[in-house]
Structure 1
Amino acid sequence: MSRLARPAARLATGSAAVSRSLGRRAAAWVARGRRHDLTGWRAALGCWARLAALAFGVYLLWRIARALPALLWLLSAAWTAAAWRAGRPAAQEPTEAPAEAPAEPAPALDRESVRTLLLTLMGDGSGVHLRTVLAYLQQHPPTAPLTAGWTVTDLRARLAALEVPVNRSVKVAGVPTWGVRRRDLEAPSPEAAQEASTEASTAA
Structure 2
Amino acid sequence: MTSTEPTGTAAQRRARTLIVGQRILIRRLAERAAAWVRAGRRDDLDGIAAILGCIFRLILLGAGAYGVWWLIRRWPALLWIAVPLWCWAAIRALGTGGDEQAVDESPQPASRDAVVLLLHEVLGDRDAVHLSEVLTHLQSKGQGEGWKVADLRARLEALGIPVAPKVKSGGKGPTRGVRRADLPPLSQPEETEASPAPSTAA
- Report which structure shows greater RCO (CA 8 Å, sep ≥6): 2
- TM-score, normalised with respect to structure 2: 0.44
In our comparison, the structure showing a higher alpha carbon Rg is 1
- TM-score, normalised with respect to structure 1: 0.44
